[in-house]
Amino acid sequence: MKKLLLLCLPFAATLAMAQKGDDASAKYAALITQQGLKEKLTILASDEMEGRETASPGQRKAAAYIEDFFKKLGLKPGNGDSYQQLYPVYQEVLNEKNLRVNGRSFEWDKDFIFSMQTVSTGTLTYNGVVFAGYGMVDSATKVNDYAGLDVKGKLVLVLDGGTTAAPAGGGRGFGGPAMAKMNAARRNGAAGILIISADFPRANPTSVKGRMSITLPTASANASNFLVATVSEEVASALLGRTARISQADLKTTAKGNYVSEVVIHTAKKVETLESSNVIGILPGTDKKAEYVFLTGHYDHLGKQGNTIYYGADDDGSGTVGVMQMAEAFAAAAKKGDKPRRTMIFMTVSGEEKGLLGSAYYADHPTVDMTKVSVDLNTDMIGRGDASRKGDTLNYIYVIGHDKLSSDLAPINESVNKQYVNIALDYKYDDPNDQNRIYYRSDHYNFAKKGVPILFFYDGMLGADYHRPTDTVDKIQFGIMEQRTKLVFHTAWVIANRDEMLKRDIPLTMPAR
């Protein structure tokens, strides 16, 4: 009985804290409203912000809007006397981008695109290509498309998507299954990977930002030795020695193995140094003001191409205005004498779509002692539903990181959810066998790498509007967005006011390469 009592004490303390803060937490959470979220998101995802691409005029307008909002709340600047933490980036433009297979030339966007980070100025020649089916290796499903193949030093040609045993699922950019394919090819010693896509010629070429990439200077200075490209069925046919275009159906039955092909790639990059920024507002705490709770989201998106704007209402306008609404609620609490014990840091970062750049820069150039950060609660896409869910497709939130770094995280989040919000908490993306690897693919991960416990709140919207111009405000479900934001607020409230920082008692598991 005594042992059982001792085991129950941590959860009982968590529950007591939630109940103690019931009146105050609920009172200020009520300031998070559908109307407030919609007003802010309508501005952030407007034509004026031009898609908020990192280091663009639109991104700077968005930063100024968020900074002005923090000032009006009375938050302190988060970077010395400035609300913005500036950081350098490189803008890379491919002035020349050529692909030839056995002497035949192909066209950019019509037949191929390169991953910008994997090419530099120069000419590369590859002799031979290995077709590896779907290019998947998955011990959980006992799939190994590389069995019996020698791909060392060669280009690997693979189908997009997945098999029944190793499903493609959804992905964020080059993450998810595509990342798994790249990692498998790299581990087997390949010189690069060519992923066959049926999406050529591009019906909407600007959905893939192949012409431009923004990376931190340290990354830009060292282009990858591993080529990553997406190619059309026409290119695949040439690589496989076919005279006629091969269909996806035929590709699925094509024998794996070596094919004799000469592949010549020529690229020329123009590089210039630009500047981007994170926007940081601080609400000082009371007796534990030297400890910190971060609320983060990324305010950048994909910008515009010609007259087409990528609005990024859900990705991640939703998470950004969620941070702004929570800042408003905490600021109101402080003005009424209900200051949080720990210092609250509200940070909206840029560069997420270019590789988590803003949060990476902050993690390497922090404005506070990272060992004193109790938690980072990250919101990246919280305004839509996941159409692939069975049954309830809206009254839920994917919570990532609940079983990582700190055993305190899940009990607190689950307790406040039950008490205040009562939506389904879905942990599917914390499955170590999940190929989407979501835990490693938003800004919280740069905190996790420093040992900071994190929770990532995510709606899973990876359908037709993801990274498309159609990710617009009119498609946001503000009712559930309000509830999800309140869940994060209540969780932050408890963590900010509890006696102890969150334990750091679970080692970080690094992703397999």
| Least reliable range by pLDDT among 67-76, 140-149, 468-477 | 140-149
pLDDT tens digits for range 372-419: 999 999 999 999 999 888 777 799 999 999 999 999 999 999 999 999
Task: Give the per-residue pLDDT at 216.
Answer: 64
Q: Give the span between the Cα atoms of 244 and 247, in whole angstroms.
A: 9
Task: Give the per-residue pLDDT at 172.
Answer: 37
CA 50, 51, 52, 55 dihedral sign is: negative
Task: Give the per-residue pLDDT at 320.
Answer: 99
Task: Give the per-residue pLDDT at 505.
Answer: 97
> Regarding predicted confidence, which is higher, 440 or 6?
440
Q: Give the span between the Cα atoms of 311 and 48, in whole angstroms.
A: 10
pLDDT band for 91, please (50, 70, 90 cuts).
Answer: confident
| Least reliable range by pLDDT among 18-32, 188-202, 464-478 | 18-32
Q: Give the span between the Cα atoms of 417 and 425, in whole angstroms.
A: 8
How far, rounded to the nearest angstrom, does the alpha carbon of residue 72 sit from its chain's CA centroid?
29
Q: Give the span between the Cα atoms of 393 and 13, in whole angstroms.
A: 33
b/e map 492-502, b = 16+ CB within 10 Å:
bbbbbbbeebb
- 4-13, 135-144, 383-392, 492-501 — which one is most confidently predicted on average? 492-501
Residue 7 pLDDT exceeds 60: no
Task: Give the per-residue pLDDT at 20.
Answer: 46
The model's pTM is 0.78
3-class secondary-structure state, position 173: coil
Task: Give the per-residue pLDDT at 511.
Answer: 66
Percent of the chain with pLDDT over 90: 71
CA 327, 330, 333, 337 dihedral sign is: negative
Q: Give the span between the Cα atoms of 240 and 3, in whole angstroms.
A: 67
Which ranges constitute the DSSP H helices of 347-477? 357-364, 409-416, 444-448
Q: Give the span between the Cα atoms of 295 and 348, in whole angstroms.
A: 8
| Least reliable range by pLDDT among 154-168, 201-215, 252-266, 329-343 | 201-215
Q: Number of C-alpha atoms within 13 angstroms, CB side, residue 459?
A: 31
Q: Rg of the chain's alpha carbons, rounded to an integer?
A: 24
CATH number of the structural domain 91-271:
3.50.30.30
Task: Give the per-residue pLDDT at 440.
Answer: 92
How far, rounded to the nearest angstrom, does the alpha carbon of residue 290 sit from its chain's CA centroid?
29
pLDDT band for 305, please (50, 70, 90 cuts).
Answer: confident
Residue 147 pLDDT exceeds 80: yes
Task: Give the per-residue pLDDT at 22.
Answer: 60
In DSSP terms, 155 is beta-bridged to: 129, 192
Whether 292 contacts 342, CB under 8 Å: yes
Task: Give the per-residue pLDDT at 247.
Answer: 80
Residue 19 pLDDT exceeds 80: no
Residue 1 pLDDT exceeds 50: no
pLDDT band for 8, please (50, 70, 90 cuts).
Answer: very low
Residue 209 pLDDT exceeds 50: no
Fold of 13-74+284-497: Aminopeptidase (3.40.630)
Residue type, 274: L
Calculate mean pLDDT across residues 429-435.
87
Calculate mean pLDDT across residues 488-502.
99
Backbone torsions φ then ψ of 465, nearest 5 degrees: -95, -10
Task: Give the per-residue pLDDT at 94.
Answer: 81
Environment class of 369 (CB within 10 Å of its CB; exposed 0-12, middle 13-18, buried 19+): exposed
Q: Which of 406, 289, 309, 288 is nearest to 57 (CA)?
A: 309
The 8 Å CB, 24+ separation contacts for 101-108 are 101/235, 101/238, 101/239, 101/261, 101/262, 101/263, 102/238, 102/261, 102/262, 103/262, 104/238, 106/231, 106/232, 106/234, 106/235, 106/238, 108/210
**Where do the structural domains in the chain lie, given as residue ranges?**
13-74+284-497, 91-271
Task: Give the per-residue pLDDT at 144.
Answer: 94
In the numeric block, which tokens belong to residue 51?
A: 């898609």
Percent of the chain with pLDDT over 70: 88
In the block, tokens 């501005």 appear at: 43
Mean confidence (pLDDT) of the chain: 89
> Regarding predicted confidence, which is higher, 12 or 306?
306
3-class secondary-structure state, position 36: helix
pLDDT band for 183, please (50, 70, 90 cuts).
Answer: very high
Whether 365 contacts 302, CB under 8 Å: no
> Regarding predicted confidence, which is higher, 503 or 205?
503
pLDDT tens digits for range 308-346: 999 999 999 999 999 999 999 999 999 999 999 999 999
Total Cβ atoms within 10 A of residue 198: 12
Q: In terms of DSSP bridges, do strands 227-231 and 192-196 run parallel, antiparallel, or are they unpaired?
A: parallel
CA distances from 216 to 49, 52, 409, 496 (A): 23, 18, 32, 32
Q: In terms of DSSP bridges, do strands 227-231 and 112-114 run parallel, antiparallel, or are they unpaired?
A: antiparallel
Task: Give the per-residue pLDDT at 118.
Answer: 86
Q: Number of C-alpha atoms within 13 angstroms, CB side, residue 396?
A: 21
Whether 323 contacts 379, CB under 8 Å: yes
Could you tell me which residues come within 8 angstroms of residue 507 by beta carbon, excluding any fewer than 6 positions away? none
Task: Give the per-residue pLDDT at 201.
Answer: 84
Task: Give the per-residue pLDDT at 223.
Answer: 60
Q: Give the span between the Cα atoms of 475 and 478, in whole angstroms.
A: 9
